[in-house]
Amino acid sequence: MTDDANTFWNGFKRAFPSSWAQKLCLWHMEQAMKRNAKKEQKMYISDDLLEPFLIKVREICHARDKDTFVAKYTSLLKYLRVDVKKKQAHTWKRRGATEWSSGVPSDDQAPV
């Protein structure tokens, strides 16, 4: 199990050249997502947006059948498309982003 670091995969391929197995550690993936979300300079990603996202990713990773996976994945996409977009638009507007960005919708234009 890994967090998808290249050094791990290089060593794994040398030790097991004929294996196609790839298992990612959920804990390491979550840590990487948190790190990368906080590094992102172009977008304000607050903890109140990140934590529900991580919960949904966890649910997807724990899905045991295709129908559950599809339902959970669809829920994640809806969350990103609707809830996160609306909250970020509100945050950007509150932080004065409308002064420099015409792409931020007003409250009445934000997706529902």
Q: Flag whether the pTM goes above 0.75.
A: no
Quote the CA–CA distance of 79 and 6 in Å, as a whole number.
Answer: 30
Q: pLDDT of 3-55, one tens digit each? A: 556 777 788 788 888 877 666 778 887 887 777 776 654 555 677 888 888 89
How high is the pLDDT of residue 112? 47
Calculate the CA dihedral of residues 13, 16, 17, 22 and round it to 10 degrees. -60
